[in-house]
Amino acid sequence: MKKFNILVFPCGSEIALDIHSSVKYSTYFHLIGGSSVSDHGMYVYEDYIPDIPYVTDSNFISTLKTIIAERKIDAVYPAMDIAITMLKEHEEELGCKVISSPVETTQISLSKDLTYKKLADTILIPKIYDPLEIPISAFPVFAKPKIGYSAKGTKKLNNQREVNAFIAENDDILILEYLPGEEYTVDCFTDRHRNLLFCGARKRNRVSNGISVNTFFSENQEEFVKLARLINEKIHFRGAWFFQVKRNVNGQLCLLEIASRLGGSSLLSRAKGVNFALLSLFDAFDHDVSVFTNDYDIILDRALECKYKLNVSFESVYCDYDDCLVLNGYKLNTLLVQFLYQCVNENKKVYLLTKHTGTDLNEELKKFRIYSLFDKIIHIDNLANKADYIKEKDSIFIDDSHAERLNIKERLNIPVFAPEMVDALLK
């Protein structure tokens, strides 16, 4: 199997970042990130294309077509709902695959109105009200855009006055039954033969910007599997997709939305063995896939991730031992070890520079299995000055001691880092 070039667009969305973390180790796919704006994607995707026109720009398709030809792109992996439909509608013109379900499915998924009309006779959907004729007993109600995602433009409305004010300022709004119960995302995968290979319902325990940032699998999966099978029979999905449901006042599961892409925080399933992005790619290139999971309980909790770009150039790193590389005398600083091996990959010199006392240093390094990590181990007297042992000018220095860092900075004027700063050096 050849290595395929996959353009992920827009590469700074949370979905695109999840695609990257899911596929980056694959030997079959080379990921290229593309964005219309300067965003987090440029810090994550090593192969990055900036300044692609917005999806709504008249030059979007023609520019993308040129990029696809020049970069020999085999497939575009859209990572935002509006981009999915636009790209799928122009798939033939683009001259490469678009990783998603058929175009009709993407159009239905993009529109809440079309979704509810398609599935109204299949599963339970929220009651839909005429904005001007809402029974008093129906309040509160819930307003959401006919086309939208990530809870943008939604609002709970408590009376007719609030409804009137909301629809006066917002177009194409649905006024729906308010669902007070627990909310779930159901991550699914359907292969090219329309077989539903996986369905996993997870509780949206804590939500931020429409993404479940704390989530875990529901105990009772069967009621969700039944809904997934009904939806899968009614709508033609291919690859990763999901739907969201919420319990109504009677405790019944009621549909919120469907989407023809992997879900935010579907990484919970990946942690058990179901890699939606990779499965979708293999399936798109007509490879039969199978799914299995590990048998353990798991919770996903996510927060903002930091990436840094430093204009620091160096060929050697000098690193301290006590309370820097080894913490409290008994555990490795794994983040620092990660950075040091990053230096090894980049053919940079790695030196251990330490005043360690009390135990045999070589034996400790062997115990922690890092003896061979260093190009040289420089073990000096407690009264010695570390600056005297740093010979290369294009070096950086890592030490937990403020006094040692200050001394090196003043004497040698090279970049110095405390252990808590090392994450800024990671790529």
Are 200 and 217 in contact by the 8 Å Cβ rule? The answer is yes
Q: Which amino acid is at 145?
A: P
Note whether residue 121 is domain-resident: no
> Could you tell me if 205 and 161 lie in one domain?
no
Note whether residue 308 is domain-resident: no
Q: Which tens digits make up the pLDDT trace of 266-286? A: 999 999 999 999 999 999 999
Are 298 and 50 in contact by the 8 Å Cβ rule? The answer is no
Note whether residue 35 is domain-resident: yes
Note whether residue 306 is domain-resident: no
- Could you give phi then psi for residue 255, rounded to 5 degrees? -70, 135
Q: Which tens digits make up the pLDDT trace of 32-75? A: 999 999 999 999 999 999 999 999 999 999 999 999 999 999 99
Kindly indicate the confidence band of residue 150, based on its pLDDT and cuts at 50, 70 and 90.
Answer: low
Q: Which tens digits make up the pLDDT trace of 404-417? A: 999 999 999 999 99
Cα 51 to Cα 71: distance, rounded to the nearest angstrom: 15
> Could you tell me if 243 and 191 lie in one domain?
yes
> Could you tell me if 131 and 220 lie in one domain?
no
> Could you tell me if 346 and 323 lie in one domain?
yes
**Beta pairing class for 196-208 and 183-190:** antiparallel
Domain count, the chain: 4
Q: Cα–Cα distances in Å, from 159 out to 133, 134, 143, 155?
A: 12, 9, 12, 12
Q: Classify each residue of 109-122 as buried b or exposed e, where b means 16 or more C-beta atoms within 10 Å of its C-beta.
A: bbbbeebbebbeee
> Could you tell me if 172 and 187 lie in one domain?
no
Cα 260 to Cα 161: distance, rounded to the nearest angstrom: 36
Nearest by Cα to 198 from 131, 266, 147: 266
> Could you tell me if 11 and 63 lie in one domain?
yes
> Could you tell me if 171 and 257 lie in one domain?
no
Are 234 and 119 in contact by the 8 Å Cβ rule? The answer is yes
Domain hosting residue 293, numbered range: 109-113+180-301
> Could you tell me if 205 and 170 lie in one domain?
no
> Could you tell me if 61 and 144 lie in one domain?
no
Note whether residue 89 is domain-resident: yes
Q: The CATH number of the domain where 85 resides is what?
A: 3.40.50.20
> Could you tell me if 64 and 90 lie in one domain?
yes
Q: The CATH number of the domain where 381 resides is what?
A: 3.40.50.1000
Q: Which tens digits make up the pLDDT trace of 176-212? A: 999 999 999 999 999 999 999 999 999 999 988 778 8
> Could you tell me if 387 and 332 lie in one domain?
yes
> Could you tell me if 63 and 166 lie in one domain?
no
Are 117 and 132 in contact by the 8 Å Cβ rule? The answer is no
